[in-house]
A and B are shown apart, each in its own frame.
Chain A
Amino acid sequence: DTGVSQDPRHKITKRGQNVTFRCDPISEHNRLYWYRQTLGQGPEFLTYFQNEAQLEKSRLLSDRFSAERPKGSFSTLEIQRTEQGDSAMYLCASSLHRLTHDTEAFFGQGTRLTVV
């Protein structure tokens, strides 16, 4: 399977614990996005990378959130000291960005986080 994969698919954690999610993009894609989606809402932008550079972080991304993309390949999203409000689906997407044109973004199946 050469699509975007996310791990784990589901995560239940106790409030205050740290969690880390992983995203493996499509191999030739240079852009990688993280989104958060709650029930009945569209995906909300969190952050994105062009290769290994993190180009933008949303104001939704508090200091408890950190994302990395070492060597421009896979990415991790860590949430420290989780709160119940962090419960959501976390989606990763990747795309190929070129100066001449862009391609569509492909999404993974997401990681559903439940903070209890």
Chain B
Amino acid sequence: SQQGEEDPQALSIQEGENATMNCSYKTSINNLQWYRQNSGRGLVHLILIRSNEREKHSGRLRVTLDTSKKSSSLLITASRAADTASYFCATDAVSGGSNYKLTFGKGTLLTVNP
């Protein structure tokens, strides 16, 4: 089963606009990670935010984490056509006993129109 769920499932914006994607999860986490995947290719790691962090920046990316609401958001500012891809959140969460595993949501398909 999927631990995280991204919202929206699809997002279409114009170049230069900001894009916001949300992720909700169900159990306590160690950290939450965002990945990008271009069509038919491997996943590229974007940013990791730990459970004791609330906000993190990397270039045009801004990630927030609200552990009380079990949710995270990814903001891409000043989007470019090259940002067109699927974006996934992944939670590193306890999975029975004391083992952690990285579990993905179904992703948000972002289309940036030139």
Cβ proximity bits A79-116 to B, threshold 8 Å, 1 near / 0 not? 00000000000010101010001111111111000000
Is B99 touching A91 in the complex (CB atoms < 8 A)?
Answer: no
The residue that A45 contacts in the complex, of B33, B44, B50, B101, with Cβ under 8 A, is: B101
Complex CA gap A33/B42 in Å reads 14
Across chains A and B, the number of contacting residue pairs, with CB separation under 8 Å, is 59
The residue that A104 contacts in the complex, of B2, B48, B101, B106, with Cβ under 8 A, is: B48
Cβ proximity bits B48-75 to A, threshold 8 Å, 1 near / 0 not? 1010000000000000000000000000
Is A102 touching B105 in the complex (CB atoms < 8 A)?
Answer: no
Number of interface residues of A (CB under 8 A): 24
Interface majority SS (helix, strand, loop, mixed), chain B: strand
Number of interface residues of B (CB under 8 A): 26
Is B43 touching A56 in the complex (CB atoms < 8 A)?
Answer: no
The residue that A107 contacts in the complex, of B31, B42, B105, with Cβ under 8 A, is: B42
With a cutoff of 8 Å between Cβ atoms, the chain A residues found around residue B45 in the complex are 104-107
With both chains docked as a complex, state the minimum distance between the C-beta of A74 and any C-beta of chain B, in angstroms: 18
Give the B-binding residues of A (Cβ under 8 A).
33, 35, 41-45, 48, 55-56, 91, 93, 95, 97, 101-110
